[in-house]
Structure 1
Amino acid sequence: MAEKTNQQVNPLAPSNGNPRSDEESNTLQSKELKRKKRVKLAIYIAAFAVFQTIVILVFALTVMRVRTPKVRLGTDVTFSKLNTTGNDTSPSINITFIAQVRVKNTNFGPYKYDDTTAIFTYQNVKVGEVTIPKGKAGLRSTKKVSVTVDLNLDALQTTPSLGNELKNGVLTLNGQAKFTGKVELMFVMKKKKATEMNCKMIIDSTSKTLKDLICV
């Protein structure tokens, strides 16, 4: 009994160090996972920032960019009157035709223009005019305005080229107009824009039709 009492009781030592190594390994893996998550989050944030920048640039270059509207005469011109009297040296011409003035707006917002006057000339001499009332061309659309134009070329009786043109069955006229207005974007931003119409009409005086139309 004394021998058993005197025996020193020693605690059991771990057979190996694996438990501590496993704990350290788990800690390292946890830190590595957290680091990878932080890297992924940083990548996602950077990618989102780049995407947002691209979206803003595209929006600024397309939607928010204000373009100048274009104004042209349409080719569907109808002559209700084209009378030629007199002779080659002293001709007298009265013309009435119906045409379309087309305001093409390529902006992402309406173009509101003021009333204006279209002037028709023959070799820089005014032979008629017509008033175009104020209106609005919707976003990315074309506004078509029908106008009736009365022209009187009696003032050109002393112009030799007029008689020569009529002898060949043609008549060349020019139509000009200047439009002023504003392009409205996002219902808040308004940008002033002016545009001009400059068209040359070549009329077949024999068939009373539009032979050619050139607008710049």
Structure 2
Amino acid sequence: MGEGRRSRKKCLAYVAAFIVFQTAVILVFALTVMKVKSPKVRFNAMVVESFSSNNNTATSINMKLLAQLTIKNTNFGHFKYDESTLVILHNGVPLGEHVIPKGRTKAKKTQKFEISVGVSTAKASGSELRNEINSGVLKLTSQAKLNGKVHLFKVIKKKKSGEMKCDWDINLGTRQVENLNCN
């Protein structure tokens, strides 16, 4: 009888060790793979593609910006997002916009694409805009929000949003984008 008890205790110890091991594996899996993060949306680079100004009006500038937009998905599942609008602003006043079509970014990948945005200061006014144009540096901001879902293992779907807010300056003399900063 002593031999049977020992083998039952040994069997229970193995079962307990297996349960502890499985619990640890599930816990690690839940804390790493199943933790869903919001994707990062950023401008990587930007150039002034075309530029024109109306000499009659000190505040009338038209330009086309060419930018590389990136969507970085750090999750273990793909991010499927809806159509969104990227807006270029000066002191909260929209000067231009670009529609970002719905799409998807694969798991653990960064999606890059080129966008072209027309910007016109004719939609804005005020002494601050005039002062910036006269100083030769125009301060602009861009905003976009991509709403969507992260799909894990084709079973779990978590709603997430990737938001972008970038500030930059346009040197009107050199027609170069300077101080590009995205958060």
Do they superpose with TM above 0.5? yes
Query: 1:1-216 maps to which residues of 2 (within 5 A)?
Result: 34-74=4-44, 76-86=45-55, 90-156=58-124, 158-216=125-183
Greater C-alpha radius of gyration: 1
Query: Which runs of 5 or more residues in structure 2 are unaligned?
Result: none
- Could you tell me how far 1:33 is from its partner in structure 2? 5.1
- Does the CA contact (< 8 Å) of 1:82 and 1:205 recur in 2? no
More RCO (CA 8 Å, sep 6+) = 2
Give the Cα–Cα distance (whole angstroms) in 1 for the partners of residues 169 and 13 of structure 2. 64
Give the Cα–Cα distance (whole angstroms) in 2 for the partners of residues 204 and 32 of structure 1. 89
- Could you tell me how far 1:35 is from its partner in structure 2? 4.3
Give the Cα–Cα distance (whole angstroms) in 2 for the partners of residues 205 and 193 of structure 1. 38
Identity, % of aligned positions: 43
**Residue identity matched to 2:170:** I
- Could you tell me how far 1:168 is from its partner in structure 2? 2.9
Give the Cα–Cα distance (whole angstroms) in 2 for the partners of residues 36 and 205 of structure 1. 86
Structure (1 or 2) with the greater strand fraction: 2
Query: What TM-score does the superposition give when structure 2 sets the normalisation length?
Result: 0.90
Give the Cα–Cα distance (whole angstroms) in 1 for the partners of residues 106 and 157 of structure 2. 14
Query: Which runs of 5 or more residues in structure 1 are unaligned?
Result: 1-30
**Residue identity matched to 1:50:** V
- Could you tell me how far 1:203 is from its partner in structure 2? 1.7
Give the Cα–Cα distance (whole angstroms) in 1 for the partners of residues 3 and 71 of structure 2. 62
- Could you tell me how far 1:85 is from its partner in structure 2? 3.7
- Does the CA contact (< 8 Å) of 2:81 and 2:147 recur in 1? yes
Question: Matched residue of 1:171: which SS?
Answer: strand
CA RMSD of aligned residues (A): 1.9
- Could you tell me how far 1:53 is from its partner in structure 2? 0.3
Q: How many residues align?
A: 183
Question: Matched residue of 1:40: which SS?
Answer: helix
